[in-house]
Chain A
Amino acid sequence: MAAKRRPKLAVWKFASCDGCQLSLLDCEDELLAVAGEIEIAYFMEATRAVVRGPYDISLVEGSITTPHDAERIHQVRRQSKFLVTIGACATAGGIQALRNGRDVDQFMSIVYARPDYIDTLPTSTPISEHVKVDFELRGCPIDKMQLVELICAFAGGRKPMIPTHSTCMECKMRGNACVMVAHGTPCLGPVTHDGCGALCPSYDRGCFGCFGPAETANMSALTGQLSELGLESRNIQRLLRTFNTNAGPFREESSRHDS
């Protein structure tokens, strides 16, 4: 029997901070085993050695913010059998999507000495608005164990165990008290996709919504409660306008809080 060909993996970067790619490098204990089963064929952050495509699995980090990237993502798609977006930028447009609906030319004139060197789009958009995406891994940054789980599932040809329910379930499984109920701390947990293991509430902070909207998020019911807790409309909007500002439910709800 011929030796089994290892699936080829590529990691692509678009507009992003590299934090999600670092999560992959951060899988120190698992990385060697992964590399034994999967050929890491294209991963510029780790090595300049490049194995040509096509690739069995592509991990895409970052959002589309330039005309060049809007082209490049199609090339990536063409070379990839299974395309996974990693992180809030690739999945929802990231924090840089705060520019959407604003005057980007004005920003450039303030930030850059030579704005004419800058070739950018007026929006930051998720990969799924440009090409077909096979799986979206949430988080800002992603959770490295979820990434390992995704790769193991891919290697085993099975469904990844990545639930889409709210952060509250994991929070209660850890035995935490609800920070909203017990301390009056505003928290996005009830509308936020599981994945971080309820990190912030476990340290007495409200959830910041890094993993974006949970399945069937009831945004207005939560923001109603946040204002009961004394949060002004302006601050509710700020809470929703971070890493996942452009994720549908967060975007729509935050625009209801324009004062």
Chain B
Amino acid sequence: MPATNDASTKAGLLRRADLQSLIDALQRNDYRVIGPTVRDATVVYDEIAMVDEMPIGRGDNQDGGHYRLTDRADDAVFGYTNGVQSWRRYLFQPRRTLWRAKREARDFVVEPETEPAPKQAFIGVRACELHAIEIQDKVFVDGTYTDPDYQSRRATAFLVAVNCGSAGGTCFCSSTDTGPRSESGFDLSLTEFLDGADHAFLVEVGSERGAEIAADLPLEAATGADRQRARAITEETAASMGRTMPVDGLKDRLQQSLEHPRWQQVADRCLACSNCTMVCPTCFCSTTEDYTDITGQTAERQQRWDSCFALDHSYLHGGSVRTSTAARYRQWMTHKLAGWIDQFDVSGCVGCGRCITWCPVGIDITEEAAAFSGDGVE
């Protein structure tokens, strides 16, 4: 795991013209490099080989149920904010085979899936996403049971963080204390300085692995002023954030409001489509599906993402427990914002804004949470 970023952290300046050297250095170290790129008029995370594939000069306009890619006035490489995907799919796969079984005589043998985990480097991990990964570590690695696939992917993943130079339209990480500056948990972090011809990145080192890659980069010495400037950038971003999660006392208010009329009001608007849970970087639910072939000689168990908005998710003997959308929305929100604190000592929300942007009807978790403020009355 990367070490904490402290005052002794090394830093340097990387010229924009040399940014390719970062991808090259990672590739030389056998990393599959995944970074931001534009697909279907949105920023997605996918395998990249060249800086030119990144969303240079692109920004975005986001609001509840609304996302549009825009052109910026400058050539920022990281001028976009969160897109539909988080890094979750690269650590916790949407679908995978857990094991296969073969019939042998009157018995059967189980063969665990042994596909080796890829060695991946993520470029452009935002502070909220780093926090989300740490939260998923608690779920998949630090608990009583570990998920070996997640664990091995996580162990080799190299994280290049990016400090946000602007806040997305639906971001609220400053109120959840999860950004916009990455303080720890990364191998390298970048802060983009947009100065025309002097376009550069402050590179900060967060781990030994990070230091090794940094040693391979044509870095110039960074000054105290550069570090101050990097802090000023994220402070400005924090100040420009449009939404707030009312975290103080929220857990108790939610857990005491299980019969609140607001649940039905939001359920009237909610499609129970599960988009919010699919795009959330911390949601960890999965289900298993068992398949047998036509001959009955082989069987396999697959795991796939699931959502508390699916009826089957609460299926117990005889039927589903949460049949109404009100019950499902309540489950999602109270678990995310309150139950997680009981379970994992941390809220499940890192303020990335994805569930707001990607909800087709624009339901806003900060607005829903605010409805429970005051004395539990609206």
Within the complex, the shortest CB–CB distance from A206 to chain B, in Å, comes to 11
Within the complex, the shortest CB–CB distance from A156 to chain B, in Å, comes to 4
- Give the docked Cα–Cα distance between A156 and B300 (Å): 13
Residues of chain B within 8 A of A217, CB atoms compared: 271
Task: Using CB atoms, name the residue of chain B closest to A183.
Answer: B41
Residues of chain A within 8 A of B269, CB atoms compared: 221
Q: Tell me if B65 and A225 are in contact (CB < 8 A).
A: yes
Q: Tell me if A151 and B271 are in contact (CB < 8 A).
A: no
Task: Using CB atoms, name the residue of chain A closest to B357.
Answer: A181
Instruction: Tell me if B198 counts as interface (CB < 8 A to partner A).
Output: no
- Give the docked Cα–Cα distance between A36 and B271 (Å): 44
Interface contacts (Cβ under 8 Å), in number, total 138
Residues of chain A within 8 A of B85, CB atoms compared: 175
- Give the docked Cα–Cα distance between A106 and B353 (Å): 55
Query: Given the known A-B contacts A30-B294, A152-B292, are A173 and B94 also in contact in the complex, defined by CB atoms under 8 Å?
Result: yes
Instruction: Tell me if B278 counts as interface (CB < 8 A to partner A).
Output: yes
Q: Tell me if A37 and B360 are in contact (CB < 8 A).
A: no
Nearest 3 pairs of A and B residues by beta carbon: A172-B278, A190-B273, A177-B42
Query: Given the known A-B contacts A37-B294, A37-B295, A169-B307, are A177 and B84 also in contact in the complex, defined by CB atoms under 8 Å?
Result: yes
Query: Given the known A-B contacts A178-B360, A181-B357, A216-B325, are A168 and B275 also in contact in the complex, defined by CB atoms under 8 Å?
Result: yes
A148-B294, A175-B84, A225-B360 provided; 8 other pairs, C-beta below 8 A? A152-B291, A165-B311, A168-B278, A172-B305, A175-B85, A178-B358, A221-B269, A222-B361
Instruction: Tell me if B304 counts as interface (CB < 8 A to partner A).
Output: yes
Q: Which of B65, B268, B278 sits near A169, CB closer than 8 Å? A: B278
Interface of A is mostly: helix
Q: Which of B40, B268, B305, B307 sits near A182, CB closer than 8 Å? A: B40
Q: Tell me if A163 and B310 are in contact (CB < 8 A).
A: yes
Interface residues of B (CB under 8 A from A): 39-42, 44, 65-69, 83-85, 89, 94-95, 268-275, 278-279, 289-296, 304-305, 307, 309-312, 323, 325, 357-361
Instruction: Tell me if A218 counts as interface (CB < 8 A to partner B).
Output: yes
A to B CB contacts below 8 Å, 5 in the list: A158-B292, A165-B274, A168-B360, A172-B274, A221-B361
- Give the docked Cα–Cα distance between A221 and B329 (Å): 15
- Give the docked Cα–Cα distance between A166 and B313 (Å): 13
Q: Which of B272, B307, B360 sits near A216, CB closer than 8 Å? A: B272
Task: Using CB atoms, name the residue of chain B closest to A175.
Answer: B85
Within the complex, the shortest CB–CB distance from A125 to chain B, in Å, comes to 26
Among A148, A173, A187, chain B packs the most CB atoms within 10 A around the CB of A173
Q: Which of A174, A182, A216 sits near B41, CB closer than 8 Å? A: A182
Q: Tell me if B294 and A34 are in contact (CB < 8 A).
A: yes
- Give the docked Cα–Cα distance between A183 and B66 (Å): 9
- Give the docked Cα–Cα distance between A74 and B208 (Å): 74
Residues of chain A within 8 A of B66, CB atoms compared: 181
Within the complex, the shortest CB–CB distance from B292 to chain A, in Å, comes to 4
Q: Which of A152, A166, A204 sits near B271, CB closer than 8 Å? A: A166
Task: Using CB atoms, name the residue of chain B closest to A158.
Answer: B292
Residues of chain B within 8 A of A49, CB atoms compared: none
Q: Tell me if A149 and B291 are in contact (CB < 8 A).
A: yes
Residues of chain A within 8 A of B275, CB atoms compared: 168, 172, 178, 190
Residues of chain A within 8 A of B359, CB atoms compared: 181
Q: Tell me if B360 and A191 are in contact (CB < 8 A).
A: no
Residues of chain B within 8 A of A221, CB atoms compared: 268-271, 361
Q: Tell me if A225 and B361 are in contact (CB < 8 A).
A: yes
Residues of chain A within 8 A of B273, CB atoms compared: 166, 168-169, 189-191
Residues of chain A within 8 A of B361, CB atoms compared: 221-222, 224-225
- Give the docked Cα–Cα distance between A182 and B273 (Å): 17
Task: Using CB atoms, name the residue of chain A closest to B299.
Answer: A156
Query: Given the known A-B contacts A172-B275, A183-B41, are A161 and B290 also in contact in the complex, defined by CB atoms under 8 Å?
Result: yes
Task: Using CB atoms, name the residue of chain B closest to A169.
Answer: B274
Instruction: Tell me if A121 counts as interface (CB < 8 A to partner B).
Output: no
Within the complex, the shortest CB–CB distance from B328 to chain A, in Å, comes to 9
Residues of chain A within 8 A of B309, CB atoms compared: 165
- Give the docked Cα–Cα distance between A191 and B309 (Å): 13
- Give the docked Cα–Cα distance between A174 and B44 (Å): 12
Residues of chain B within 8 A of A38, CB atoms compared: 294
Query: Given the known A-B contacts A169-B307, A172-B279, are A33 and B271 also in contact in the complex, defined by CB atoms under 8 Å?
Result: no
Among B44, B293, B312, chain A packs the most CB atoms within 10 A around the CB of B293
Residues of chain A within 8 A of B95, CB atoms compared: 173
Among B278, B292, B294, B323, chain A packs the most CB atoms within 10 A around the CB of B294
Within the complex, the shortest CB–CB distance from B265 to chain A, in Å, comes to 12
- Of residues 194 through 218 on chain A, the ones whose CB sits less than 8 Å from some CB of chain B are 204, 215-218
Q: Which of B279, B323, B360 sits near A222, CB closer than 8 Å? A: B360
Q: Which of B69, B268, B278, B312 sits near A164, CB closer than 8 Å? A: B312
- Give the docked Cα–Cα distance between A68 and B340 (Å): 60
Residues of chain A within 8 A of B41, CB atoms compared: 177, 182-183
Q: Tell me if A181 and B94 are in contact (CB < 8 A).
A: no
Q: Tell me if B271 and A191 are in contact (CB < 8 A).
A: yes
Task: Using CB atoms, name the residue of chain A closest to B42.
Answer: A177
- Of residues 22 through 36 on chain A, the ones whose CB sits less than 8 Å from some CB of chain B are 30, 33-34, 36
Q: Tell me if B272 and A173 are in contact (CB < 8 A).
A: no
- Give the docked Cα–Cα distance between A168 and B292 (Å): 26
Instruction: Tell me if A51 counts as interface (CB < 8 A to partner B).
Output: no
Instruction: Tell me if A155 counts as interface (CB < 8 A to partner B).
Output: yes
Within the complex, the shortest CB–CB distance from B274 to chain A, in Å, comes to 5
Task: Using CB atoms, name the residue of chain B closest to A202.
Answer: B40
Instruction: Tell me if A176 counts as interface (CB < 8 A to partner B).
Output: yes
Q: Tell me if B89 and A175 are in contact (CB < 8 A).
A: yes
Instruction: Tell me if A180 counts as interface (CB < 8 A to partner B).
Output: yes
Task: Using CB atoms, name the residue of chain A closest to B268.
Answer: A221
Q: Tell me if B293 and A181 are in contact (CB < 8 A).
A: no
- Give the docked Cα–Cα distance between A218 and B359 (Å): 14
Residues of chain A within 8 A of B272, CB atoms compared: 166, 216, 218
Q: Which of A36, A153, A169, A178 sits near B84, CB closer than 8 Å? A: A178
